[in-house]
Structure 1
């Protein structure tokens, strides 16, 4: 504003220019009020900005917790997928081994059936021969 020296202020008061002096003071007071209002508005804006930053910080903290939790879940899922892959691989090996064993078992069953058939045929031949010899010897 208008800066007055002490001599100018004394001169205005002595010469009867109180209106000019009062007007100058009123202008300075109004400028001070405007500056105070501006400062209060800026302070409120800074407070709002501070609150927004606090909320943003809270959101990032929550996000960090979620990421950590999701990371653990993803690790668990990855472990379970690996386990499932291992189990499927073992099951495939077991199925192949079972097929080989089943083929061997069928072959052994066939051999046992052939042997049993041969034994039964031999027994029948023995019994038929025995009874036909018995009939010839005893004449029946």
Structure 2
């Protein structure tokens, strides 16, 4: 009877030992997962920083582009007005020359 009790206790201890080993393995696996997750978080943070920097750079470039476009529009309007004035002056000069030749 004592042997039977000892055998039963030994079986229980072996079972507990297996469960503890299994638990240790699971905890080690979990530790590895946390390390990998930590690495991923750092990498994602770096990527987010790069995205943020690129967005800021793009924003600055767009602002500069708007300024350049506004300046180009002003120059084009000014050039168009000057072209019209030159054409009008040319027309007036041609008319004056024609009037002078007509009367002489």
Q: TM-score, normalised by structure 1?
A: 0.67
Residue 128 of structure 1 pairs with residue 102 of structure 2: yes
Instruction: Identify the residue that residue 47 of structure 2 maps to in structure 1.
Output: 73
1:54-65 alignment, distance < 5 Å: 54-65=28-39
SS in 1 for 2:42: helix
Instruction: Identify the residue that residue 51 of structure 1 maps to in structure 2.
Output: 25
Q: 5+ unaligned residues in a row in structure 2: which ranges?
A: none
Of 66, 70, 77, 1:92 maps to 66
Larger radius of gyration: 1
d(CA) in 2 for partners of 1:127, 1:71: 83
**Greater RCO between the two (CA within 8 Å, min separation 6)?**
1
Task: Please state how far the C-alpha of 1:45 moved relative to its aligned partner.
Answer: 0.4
Instruction: Identify the residue that residue 32 of structure 1 maps to in structure 2.
Output: 6
Deviations 1:69-88 (A, max 9, x none): 21121111111111111121
Of 83, 93, 99, 1:119 maps to 93
Task: Please state how far the C-alpha of 1:122 moved relative to its aligned partner.
Answer: 2.1
Q: TM-score, normalised by structure 2?
A: 0.87
Q: 5+ unaligned residues in a row in structure 1: which ranges?
A: 1-26, 133-140
d(CA) in 1 for partners of 2:34, 2:28: 10
Cα root mean square deviation, aligned: 1.5
